[in-house]
Amino acid sequence: MKRSIGAKTILYPTPVIAVSTYDENRKANVMIVAWGGICCSEPPCIAISLRKATYTYHNLLNNKAFIANIAGEEMVDKLDYMGITSGQNVDKLERLGLTPERCHNVNAPYIKEFPLIIQCNVIRVVEIGLHTQFIGEIIDIKVEEKFLDKEGNPDITKIKPVVFDPARREYFSIGDSLGKAFSIGRKLKIGN
């Protein structure tokens, strides 16, 4: 039996994206975005949604560029700090001992200590409601070398990204492998 719980922002899983941008004085800022995801394969794009009240919103409008930095689970308290503090009041990166590095592809800084960084240029701005969606075309991805597998792909089991649960407002780690995509369902095909 199913019970209605009303119209709420619940979806599993959601990411924890540390979005870094430059402000008008070219100072690096970072905030956490859980409202987002991949939204196109060609060109490869990710979408992030922010409220207009955020410092990053104005940086995105000015520079049309951002980095989506993905952290490992050992940084979860730093991620949470980035989500509960505004760049209008404090230099979050400095406070956390993190290093903004200049990116040569897009006009946004990346966080040196983070294992995977996704460099994006904003190609579309979609007004939805309380949140504005920025669609970023992925220009390049950089990965810390020790987190690459033998084929040169990022290894999720080494990076250990954080999962956000918007229902319980809680962070989780990635668990065990459940199988290969485009593969484990083949046995269910008729006459496979």
Q: Supply the minimum distance, in Å, between the C-beta of residue 90 and a second copy.
A: 7
Q: Supply the minimum distance, in Å, between the C-beta of residue 148 and a second copy.
A: 7
Return the SS3 of 33: strand
**Among candidates 115, 116, 78, which has minimal Cα distance to 97?**
78
The DSSP symbol for 105 reads: S
Instruction: Establish if 128 lies at the interface with a second copy (CB under 8 A).
Output: yes
Instruction: Establish if 176 lies at the interface with a second copy (CB under 8 A).
Output: yes
Q: Supply the minimum distance, in Å, between the C-beta of residue 124 and a second copy.
A: 7
Instruction: Establish if 186 lies at the interface with a second copy (CB under 8 A).
Output: yes
Instruction: Establish if 61 lies at the interface with a second copy (CB under 8 A).
Output: no
Q: Which of 5, 24, 25, 150 is the binder for a second copy (CB under 8 A)?
A: 5
Q: Dihedrals φ, ψ of 27, to 5°? A: -95, 140
> Which residues ranging from 86 to 125 are in contact with a second copy (CB under 8 A)?
90, 95-96, 116-118, 124
Q: What is the Cα–Cα distance from 37 to 110, expressed in whole angstroms?
A: 19
**Among candidates 187, 54, 64, which has minimal Cα distance to 122?**
64
Q: What is the Cα–Cα distance from 24 to 18, expressed in whole angstroms?
A: 19
Q: Supply the minimum distance, in Å, between the C-beta of residue 155 and a second copy.
A: 7
In the numeric block, which tokens belong to residue 8? 């709420």
Q: What is the Cα–Cα distance from 163 to 170, expressed in whole angstroms?
A: 8
Instruction: Establish if 44 lies at the interface with a second copy (CB under 8 A).
Output: yes
Q: Which of 38, 52, 53, 88 is the binder for a second copy (CB under 8 A)?
A: 38
Binding footprint of a second copy, residue count (CB under 8 A):
106
**Among candidates 162, 164, 130, 165, which has minimal Cα distance to 50?**
130
Q: Which is nearer to a second copy, 14 or 23 (CB)?
A: 14
> Which residues ranging from 66 to 85 are in contact with a second copy (CB under 8 A)?
68, 70, 73, 76-85
